[in-house]
Amino acid sequence: MSLKMSCGADGPKGASIGEHHPFAGRFNEVVHFAFLEVSRLHAPNPGGVPKTVVASGNKSKRSEVKDKSTCIFARMIELQSITKSYTTGSQSLQVLKGVDMQVSAGELVAIMGSSGSGKSTLLNILGLLDAYDGGQYRLDGKNMAGLSERRAAELRREMLGFVFQSFNLIPFKSAAENVALPLYYQKVPRKERARRSHALLERVGLLEWADHLPSQMSGGQKQRVAIARALAASPRVILADEPTGALDSATSEDVMSLLKELNGEGMTMVVVTHEAEIAAACGRTIRLRDGLVESQGHV
Amino acid sequence: MFDRDAWLEVAHNVLAHPLRTTLTGVSVALGIFILVVMQGLGYGLQHGVEGQFADDAVNSIWVEGGRTQIAYRGNQSNRPVRLTNADLPGIASQADTIPAFSRRIRLWGAEIVWENPQGQNKGGGYRVRGVDPAHIELERSVLLSGRYINERDVLDLRKVAVVGPNIVQDLFGKTDPVGAFIRINAVLFQVVGTFEDPGSRWENRVAYIPFSTAQQLYRTEGWVDQILYSTGNMETEATVAQSGRMLSWLKDVKAVHPDDSRGIRVDNNNEEYAMYASIFEGIRLFIWGIGLMTLLAGAVGVANILAIGVKERTKEIGVRKALGATNSSIVSLVVMESTVLMLVSGSLGLMLAVGLLSVVAPMANHEYFQNPQVDHRIALFALGVLVLTGLASGLGPALRAVAIRPVEALRDE
């Protein structure tokens, strides 16, 4: 199966029209969802691992995919005038000064910007890891204003997968246990957790490393475990903070192609990066400058 | 509600940090171990002292004559001072109330012989005491069979005897001595009872006979070797005042110099017991103090280790939150971890201490140290203190850790 052909994120290189074309986003999504439906019907699914991650065997999610195939402009992430400031002592620093951005379902979007432009803050707000001060954030159409800690945890558990620059694997847990951790919080039974974590490790090519501790793995392997972990709970969106920041270029490519592969299967992805090559590999780039969106390509 | 998964996660986390777990566990186990062992030793000392006073009633006053050291009122020093029957009314008037009273005559080496049915003589040297009926309470003897000396025996100068277990064993073996006739220094007495005395082995080599009989046989001058009386429920201070009054009066009557400490002896068991009791109470308090300090040190150590442990895990906690953990699930995880650790290691310390004391107890048979034992209430109290400390010291840092937003916990330093 040709992933490139399916992936709207591939932009000019694939079977899509150029990024700067006024209908680019729309066209890409049509192609993308058409492919999704086909791949879901025909793709073999060895080991019970959801090849199409969005359609992960969860009934409600499967029906959502169907809904989206009819509503091709589904906004997964929508920010309007988001502001955020931090107070250190008596000094207040406004990091985000009114960010507007949208990410459609199935998109692979890069967020770029110089150091201090607010991209990590933005990602944390997107990931419900941090609260915003003003504006509106809609995730999958739902308003995220005034979420309780418990509800935020629930949404993180069900909707979001995280990939961090420094992997953030739990050092005393094996690769399989790390991958299974989100499932633990979803109260998936132990045996099922083990089965799914092993399947996900196989998916990222690390099945034989299942029982190894993070300290016994290379950076690239750790990041693949982290990606498998992000996928474990069958999220709708993966948020990656400098996912290749701690990796050499060959490994970076490896990790990016894995992320792209997942995106090709329909996963919405937001990647914060300062590396142009990484951004280039994404379908669209949102540039931040001094807490504002400088450009966000065509939505 | 038992959540197997949560407990497995707890067990995994505890076992995944062997050094931290060992350090915490050793602090807890040591705290409990030292406290329980110290308490056990304290009890050993207490039992030792109580054993010392098991011989005689602790609320008794013992009066006896001695020899003067100071010449006084025309009398030379080194004069023996004798109590006599004539002193009794005066002594009684000095004591406010006398719930129990006995005179006593002591024979240190009397020959006691029993002729058994086969015509064989069995005998040996024993102590003989002439006493009044109340003596059984004042000496804290325990009647084993038959009866003790009674009023009638004293009034009628009967030749009856109550014998101790050593005499029974030496002379009679398995034969019941009650009703048998024995010779005490060649005078025939009938055995009317047997007793034992928990005080010391010497007290079990004694035969008691009526005071009047003994006086007639051995103190023809009308002398009384000792006078014992009980002070009932009187407070120690009151008994001290009373025995002081008694001593002054006796010294005056017997012409003993007020500063002469050997002429007349008035021993107040109340006072001695109170003194020993206060000394050993002090020792026990001291042991308690050391035990509590050890426990406190252990608790502080545990609190430190747990606090550092949680601090170290700030990032892990951030990751768990990013993966969907709620604050309460994280707090309960940390609290369950510390509780399990405390309980397991505390119980180990407790078992070790109990084991040690049960090994030591049979060997400990010193005069002032007997039968050390574990006070289970103290052991459970100590365990409770440590578990609560563990909870508190785990809870604080855990609450602080979850209060940190995951974004800060996950930030790369």
A204: burial class by Cβ within 10 Å (0-12, 13-18, 19+)?
A: buried
CA atoms within 13 A on the CB side of B33: 14
Contact predicate B94/B242, CB 8 Å: yes
Q: What is the DSSP letter of B266?
A: E
Q: Beta strand pairing status for A75-88 and B206-210?
A: unpaired
B contacts of A200 (beta carbons < 8 Å): none
Chain A: nearest CA to B358, how far in angstroms?
A: 41
CB contact under 8 A, A190 and B322: no
User: Across the interface, which of A168, A184, A186 has its CB nearest the CB of B410?
Assistant: A168
d(CA B110, CA B129): 10
d(CA A74, CA A70): 9
Residues B298-352 pLDDT 10s: 777 777 777 777 777 778 888 888 888 888 888 888 888 888 888 888 889 888 9
What ipTM score was computed for the predicted complex, to two decimals?
Answer: 0.70
A contacts of B406 (beta carbons < 8 Å): 129
Across chain B, how many H-helices and E-strands are there?
13, 14
d(CA B129, CA B106): 5
Contact predicate B197/B138, CB 8 Å: no
Q: By the CB < 8 Å criterion, does A261 face chain B?
A: no
Closest of B138, B79, B145 to residue B104, by C-alpha: B138
- The nearest alpha carbon in chain A to B15 belongs to A172
Chain B: nearest CA to A156, how far in angstroms?
A: 5
CB contact under 8 A, A186 and B5: no
Predicted TM-score (pTM) above 0.90: no
B311, B315, B317, B320: CA torsion to nearest 10: -170
A contacts of B13 (beta carbons < 8 Å): 172
> How do the domains of chain B map onto residue ranges?
4-52+275-410, 60-267
CB within 8 Å of chain B, chain A residues 129-148: 129-130
Question: Which residue type occupies B180?
Answer: A
CB contact under 8 A, B406 and A129: yes
Question: Which residue type occupies A145?
Answer: A
A contacts of B6 (beta carbons < 8 Å): none
A contacts of B316 (beta carbons < 8 Å): 170
Q: What is the DSSP letter of B263?
A: S
Q: By the CB < 8 Å criterion, does A60 face chain B?
A: no
Q: By the CB < 8 Å criterion, does A280 face chain B?
A: no
Chain B: nearest CA to A157, how far in angstroms?
A: 4
Tell me how many residue pairs between chain A and chain B have CB atoms under 8 A apart. Answer: 67
A contacts of B399 (beta carbons < 8 Å): none
User: Across the interface, which of A153, A165, A170 has its CB nearest the CB of B321?
Assistant: A153
Contact predicate B302/B30, CB 8 Å: no
Radius of gyration of chain B (CA): 34
pLDDT tens over chain A, length 299 residues: 333 333 333 333 333 333 444 444 444 444 444 444 434 444 444 433 444 333 333 444 434 444 433 344 588 999 999 999 988 788 888 889 999 999 999 999 999 988 878 888 888 899 998 889 999 999 999 999 888 888 888 898 889 998 888 888 988 889 999 999 999 888 899 899 999 999 999 988 899 999 999 999 998 899 889 999 998 988 999 999 888 887 888 888 888 888 888 898 889 999 988 888 888 888 899 999 888 888 877 65
- The nearest alpha carbon in chain A to B406 belongs to A129
Q: By the CB < 8 Å criterion, does A167 face chain B?
A: no
pLDDT tens over chain B, length 413 residues: 466 777 877 887 778 778 878 887 888 888 888 888 888 888 887 777 777 776 777 788 899 999 999 999 999 999 999 999 888 888 888 877 778 889 999 998 899 999 888 888 999 999 999 999 999 999 889 999 999 999 999 999 999 999 999 999 999 999 999 999 999 999 999 999 999 988 777 889 999 999 999 999 999 889 999 999 988 888 888 888 888 999 999 999 999 999 999 999 999 888 888 888 888 788 878 877 887 787 777 777 777 777 777 777 778 888 888 888 888 888 888 888 888 888 888 889 888 988 888 888 777 777 667 777 777 787 788 778 777 877 777 787 778 777 777 766 676 54
User: Across the interface, which of B316, B324, B412 has its CB nearest the CB of A185?
Assistant: B324
- Domain membership of residue A25 as a residue range: 3-295
Q: By the CB < 8 Å criterion, does A157 face chain B?
A: yes
Interface with chain A: mutation pick from B15, B323, B332, highest number of A CBs within 10 Å? B323
- The nearest alpha carbon in chain B to A162 belongs to B322
The two structure tokens encoding residue A132: 């915003």
- The nearest alpha carbon in chain B to A157 belongs to B324
Q: By the CB < 8 Å criterion, does A178 face chain B?
A: no
User: Across the interface, which of B17, B323, B326 has its CB nearest the CB of A150?
Assistant: B326
User: Across the interface, which of A153, A165, A190 has its CB nearest the CB of B325?
Assistant: A153
Contact predicate B263/B68, CB 8 Å: yes
Domain count, chain A: 1
* Other CB atoms within 10 A of residue A22 CB: 9
Return the CATH number at A251. Answer: 3.40.50.300
